[in-house]
Amino acid sequence: MDNIILVGFMASGKSHVGRILSERTGMPLVDADSVIVERAGKSIEQIFADEGEAVFRALEREVIAELCSDKGQIISAGGGAFVDPDNRRAMLAGGMVFCLQARPETIYHRLKLDNETGQAVRPLLAGPDPLRRIRELLAQRAEAYGQAHHCIDTDELTPEEVVEQALNLLPTDAPSST
Q: Give me the sheet containing 74-76, strands edge to edge.
A: 29-31, 74-76, 3-7, 95-101, 150-153
pLDDT in tens, 49-75: 899 989 999 999 999 999 999 999 999
Cα 70 from Cα 61, distance rounded (Å): 15
Answer whether residue 114 shows pLDDT above 60. Answer: no
Mean pLDDT (the chain, rounded): 89
pLDDT at 142: 96
Residue 153's pLDDT band, with cuts at 50, 70 and 90, is very high
* Contact (Cβ atoms closer than 8 angstroms) between residue 44 and residue 134: no
pLDDT at 67: 97
What pTM did the predictor assign? 0.89
Classify domain 3-163 by CATH architecture. 3-Layer(aba) Sandwich (3.40)
Q: What is the pLDDT of residues 82-94, one digit of tens each?
A: 999 999 999 999 9
109 band by pLDDT with thresholds 50, 70 and 90: confident
CA distance 171 to 75: 17
> In the chain, what are the helix, strand and coil shares in percent, each to the nearest 5?
55, 10, 30
Query: How confident is the model over 159-165, as a mean pLDDT?
Result: 97
Check residue 119 and give its pLDDT: 45
* pLDDT value at 118 more than 90: no
Separation between Cα atoms, residue 167 and residue 91, nearest integer Å: 18
For 8, residues 6+ apart whose C-beta sits below 8 A from its C-beta are 14, 79, 82, 99, 100, 101, 102, 145
pLDDT of amino acid 115: 52
Q: How far is CA 149 from CA 115, 132, 145, in A?
A: 32, 28, 9
17/110: higher pLDDT: 17
**Higher-confidence position of 111 and 51:** 51
DSSP output for 124-135: GG-SS-HHHHHH
pLDDT tens across 127-148, in order? 778 889 899 999 999 999 999 9
| Domain positions in the chain | 3-163
